[in-house]
């Protein structure tokens, strides 16, 4: 099964200080056909105006991952963590038994553009924790760079779920094949540029769901940056 999720069909949120597109149901956007994919529950593409952001609010029993595309995102939480992440940084917060946090555009002059990703953990009530790591562009160019996994292998951030999250920057003749084990799901989100995935042309903001496929094939790329999720059902 190959199912495309077009960028223009995502749920919009326009709040003045925030321009967001929701790949799955979130907040005031509800679509029974798009409630998640396996344990992948949220992908929001957020653009936040200078100096603005999300005030202190709570989360519980969710793995929350931020992937910055442009600008600087400032984070503070009830674990005592305070940081500013930029392009190449990946931030993981396990909400577990409960955590309060805020996210703001650190800049007073430029927007911040990032993907906020939620993954349902494999168990409830874990101890809240925070982690961030940097993956430079060179480490993602022409390859699938593991950025999140259930065992923190290859320097990836730890995600409390049986998932592997890869990032890649692809262009020209780049071609990658990623095998999917029996019973696994694939999800490709295009952050920038264009490419084809299993023969289907995708543009920035598009995504492709893959089920009952044995391989994810990425090719026909032009200035593309993608995230690939290898997921349980």
What whole-number distance in Å separates Cα of residue 75 and Cα of residue 116?
13
What whole-number distance in Å separates Cα of residue 164 and Cα of residue 171?
23
Tens of pLDDT, residue by residue over 98-146, are 999 999 999 999 999 999 999 999 999 999 999 999 999 999 999 999 9
Domains of the chain, each with CATH number or no CATH: 2-232 (2.60.120.10)
If pLDDT is split at 50, 70 and 90, which confidence band does 229 have?
very high
* Dihedral sign, Cα of residue 153, residue 158, residue 160, residue 165: negative
What whole-number distance in Å separates Cα of residue 22 and Cα of residue 27?
9
Per-residue DSSP letter, 111:
-
| pTM for the model | 0.97
Closest C-alpha to 196, from 216, 169, 215: 216
The confidence score (pLDDT) of residue 159 equals: 98
Tens of pLDDT, residue by residue over 18-65, are 999 999 999 999 999 999 999 999 999 999 999 999 999 999 999 999
Give every CB contact of residue 187 below 8 A, 6+ residues apart in sequence.
37, 38, 40, 207, 208, 209, 210, 228, 229, 231
């Amino acid at each position: 099964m190959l199912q495309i999720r077009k960028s223009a069909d995502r749920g919009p949120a326009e709040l003045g200080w925030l321009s967001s597109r929701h790949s799955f149901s979130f907040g005031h956007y509800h679509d029974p056909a798009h409630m998640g994919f396996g344990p992948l529950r949220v992908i929001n593409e957020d653009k936040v105006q200078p100096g603005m952001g999300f005030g202190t609010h709570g989360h519980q029993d969710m793995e929350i991952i931020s992937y910055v595309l442009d600008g600087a995102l400032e984070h503070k939480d009830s674990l005592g963590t305070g940081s500013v992440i930029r392009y190449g940084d990946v931030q993981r917060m396990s909400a577990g038994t409960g955590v309060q946090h805020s996210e703001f555009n650190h800049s007073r002059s430029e927007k911040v553009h990032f993907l906020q990703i939620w993954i349902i953990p494999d168990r409830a009530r874990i101890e809240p924790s925070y982690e961030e790591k940097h993956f430079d562009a060179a480490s993602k160019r022409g390859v699938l760079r593991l950025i999140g996994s259930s065992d923190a292998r290859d320097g990836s951030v730890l995600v409390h779920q049986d998932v592997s999250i890869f990032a890649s920057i692809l262009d020209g003749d780049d071609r990658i094949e990623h095998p999917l084990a029996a019973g696994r799901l694939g999800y490709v989100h295009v952050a920038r540029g264009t490419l084809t995935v299993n023969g289907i042309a995708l543009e920035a903001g598009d995504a492709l769901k893959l089920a009952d496929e044995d391989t994810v094939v990425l090719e026909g790329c032009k200035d593309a940056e993608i995230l690939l999720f290898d997921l349980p059902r």
